[in-house]
Amino acid sequence: MTQIPASKANPNKASSYAQHVATLVSKYAQLLAEGQSVLIHSGSEQHYFGDDRGIVFQAYGHFAHWLPVNRPDQFVLVKAGDTPRYFQVVPQDFWYDQSLQIDAELEPVIHEVFDVVQLSSIEEVAEQADLTVCDYLGPNTAWAAAQGISPAKLNAPALLAPLDFARAVKTEYEIEQLRYANQQGLVGHAAAAECFLAGGSEYEIHNAFLQACSLLEYETPYTNIVGLDANAAVLHYQHKSRVRVSNAQLLLIDAGSRVNGYGSDITRTTPSQHCHPVMDSLITGMEALELAIVESVKPGVPYPTLHDQAIAGVASLLVEHGIAKVAKTELVERRIAHAFMPHGVGHLLGIQVHDVGGHQRSASGGRIEPPAHSPALRTTRMLSEDMVFTVEPGLYFIPMLLDPLRAGDAREVLNWPLIDELIPSGGIRIEDNIRVTATGAENLTRG
Ligand SMILES: [Mn+2]
């Protein structure tokens, strides 16, 4: 089995993290008025209704932006001009191991750049600061209100809008975590493809991915999508069938790894020797299309133009492969190509797999709606340096979307006998993670 490259990560991780925190300190200082302070909460543990079983915890994004600590009831208190304070709640407990599991290279830096205050319960937080004057960012607004924080200061849009907007642009530290999450993810993808070509079931392929990345399932940045053949045409297909499919045609796997809270989001489509030759050729075409879209990335490009390029590319492939019998411009204008790619070309990526602020017009708020023909497009931002997002064109044969075309006036435009041959082959998606550079793009997945 391929080994994960041992800390091929970043020799400057400690200093780049310190710089990252310094960047956040100055960002918050710009936003906070004189004397204003904000308490950022990772969140509190949740339980299933009527049950004492906890739901897998995921720290709130604006907390995770400060600290690589995925734990309930951790707090950062920020006040302009002061060293940020980290209230590190570690309960006394003999049911669970409460030790913090922080990246060994980063832990000493945390003690340098934060004023770390160790507490044993959330009740002690109020003894550390006058919470009644704080703003609160986080999910447990009931707790915050009980501390005397006024409703207007709970997740106030005037703070959230600029913070969400800024998250799209990454620091050097964040880019390094994303690079390493991509390196790890690729090791998993290689193991998954190998397992598929050896005849593995979706379940076996899923486990091959996790094992190669050394991940527990709840540590992945999102639920792995592992689809053989027609299952590849279910965009967020969630099952992992234990059944081995003899002579399976293709594997679509959308899976990533996570490093210090930053996730990669990678999709690969691998044909077997049993793949329908047209589908096999479409996979090659979609790989080329994905790389061509990445070539278009540079500062100042509106993200929706990448989406338009994807739809036009899908239309070309449909024509070239005899699936459509009219010009590609007609397929785009009549929104026929869109039925073969019913999702957006990608989304912002970082702490959250669909990172915040994708439709935001400016730091102060507002919204840029996706185009009417592609309501699922998750990013409408203008590209700028160090923004990180996915590029993930897809081409699928989804009966639910094709049936209305077959019944309507697009009937004559498409080659239905060929489409019926290709429906059992499912679909294709190719997805890389891209950083905008000063003049173009860095492909974090293929770098
Ligand atoms: Mn994605």
- How far is it, in rounded angstroms, from Cα 310 to Cα 290? 8
Distance 428 CA to ligand 1 centre (A): 13
CA atoms of 140 and 317, how far apart (whole Å): 49
Cα radius of gyration rounded to whole Å, the chain: 24
Q: How confident is the model at residue 3 (pLDDT cuts 50, 70, 90)?
A: very low
- Residues linked to residue 360 through DSSP beta bridges, in sequence order: 367
**What distance in Å separates the CA atoms of residue 174 and residue 379, rounded to the nearest whole number?**
20
pLDDT at 419 over 50: yes
> How far, in Å, from the CA of 164 to the mean position of ligand 1?
19
pLDDT of residue 235: 97
3-state secondary structure of 302: strand
Q: Report pLDDT for 409.
A: 85
Question: How far away, in angstroms, is 347 Cα from ligand 1 center?
Answer: 7
Mean pLDDT to the nearest integer, 246-257: 98
pLDDT above 60 for 403: yes
Q: Give the distance, in angstroms, between the CA of residue 124 and the centroid of all CA atoms in the same chain.
A: 35
Tokens 């909460």 sit on residue:
41
Cα 183–chain centre separation: 15
| pTM: predicted TM-score of the whole model, two decimal places | 0.95
pLDDT band for 6, please (50, 70, 90 cuts).
Answer: very low
- Give the Å distance between the CA of 299 and the centre of ligand 1: 21
Distance 143 CA to ligand 1 centre (A): 34
Burial of 14 (C-beta count, 10 Å sphere; 0-12/13-18/19+)? middle
At 142, the amino acid letter reads A
Amino acid residing at 292: A
* pLDDT for residue 447: 79
CA of 392 to the centre of ligand 1 (A): 7
Sign of CA dihedral 371, 375, 376, 380: positive
In this model, does residue 316 exceed pLDDT 80? yes
CA of 354 to the centre of ligand 1 (A): 7
Mean pLDDT of 414-440: 98
Alpha carbons 25 and 82: distance in angstroms, whole number: 9
- The DSSP H or E segment spanning 429 is strand 427-429
Write down the pLDDT at residue 9.
Answer: 53
Q: Is the pLDDT of residue 308 over 80?
A: yes
Residue 303 contacts residue 379 (beta carbons within 8 Å): yes
- For ligand 1, the distance from its centroid to the CA atom of residue 52, given in whole angstroms, is 33
pLDDT in tens, 99-121: 999 999 999 999 999 999 999 99
Average pLDDT over residues 277-294: 98
3-state DSSP assignment of residue 225: strand
Q: What is the mean pLDDT of the chain?
A: 96
Amino acid 8: pLDDT: 54
What pLDDT does residue 398 have?
Answer: 98
**pLDDT at residue number 306:** 98
**Contact by Cβ (8 Å): 281, 250:** no
Domains of the chain: 13-155 (3.40.350.10), 172-443 (3.90.230.10)
Distances (CA, A) of 9 to 80, 159, 178: 32, 33, 10
Q: Which two structure tokens, joined as six digits, stand for 403?
A: 């049936």
Q: How far is the CA of 266 from the centre of ligand 1 (A)?
A: 7
Stretch 207-234: mean pLDDT, rounded?
A: 97
User: How confident is residue 297, by pLDDT bands cut at 50, 70 and 90?
Assistant: very high
What contacts 436, CB < 8 A, 6 or more positions away?
A: 297, 298, 299, 383, 384, 385, 386, 387, 388
Instruction: Flag whether pLDDT at 20 surpasses 90.
Output: yes
Q: What is the structure's pLDDT at 1?
A: 38
Which pLDDT score, from 0 to 100, does residue 4 have?
A: 46
